[in-house]
Amino acid sequence: MAEQILSQEYFHQLFEYRNGDLYRKIKKSSNAMPGQKAGTLQKNGYFAICIDRKRQYIHRIVFMMHHGYMPKTIDHIDGNSKNNRIENLRDVTHSQNTCNQKLRSDNKSGIKGIGWHKAANKWRAFITFEKTQYHLGLFKNIKDAEKAIHQKRIELHKDFARHL
């Protein structure tokens, strides 16, 4: 049997979209019944489903169902990978998607772009954008460093700026 091309029409045959979730329209296997919510949460924090023996991410299917094309990168605007409402998904470049990342778990200051500079005994503010790192200075007060990074992030990242 020939492999089905993943298209907007095919996804509409398989699923009904309701407020960020997909519900099955047809029975594809013994444990995939019509009306059943589709997808399982993966270790990476995204919902996925197996279609024709290949894993597909729910947010990508939702985007295709609404817009008719599959972009290279899709951003969850609110940073919540489980929120697959169409209003929360946008076609972005890799650089834009990186701008919208959350605070890293290994961040020790609690503020994106701020780190402790041991030699200077001050807070260092820095931001990377499109492979260029901008050093904004060394600050005695973390609030001053935060203000500087906040302003630069808005300037560079524009609509994709995420401060937390």
pTM above 0.95, yes or no: no
Residue-number span of the structural domain to which 106 is assigned: 102-160
Q: Does a structural domain hold residue 52?
A: yes
| pLDDT confidence tier of residue 4, bands split at 50, 70 and 90 | low
Residue 46 CA to residue 55 CA, distance in Å, equals 11
- Domain final residue, candidates 92, 111, 134: 92
Do the Cβ atoms of 90 and 99 come closer than 8 Å?
A: no
Same domain, 110 and 83: no
Over residues 24-35, the pLDDT tens digits come to 998 877 677 888
Total tally of structural domains belonging to the chain: 2
Q: What percent of the chain has pLDDT over 90?
A: 74
CATH number at 109 reads 3.30.730
- 77 backbone dihedrals φ, ψ, rounded to 5°: -55, -45
SS3 10: helix
* Shared-domain flag, residues 140 and 74: no
End-to-end CA distance of the chain: 49
Contacts of 38-45 with C-beta under 8 Å, sequence gap 24+, read 41/82, 44/81, 45/81, 45/82
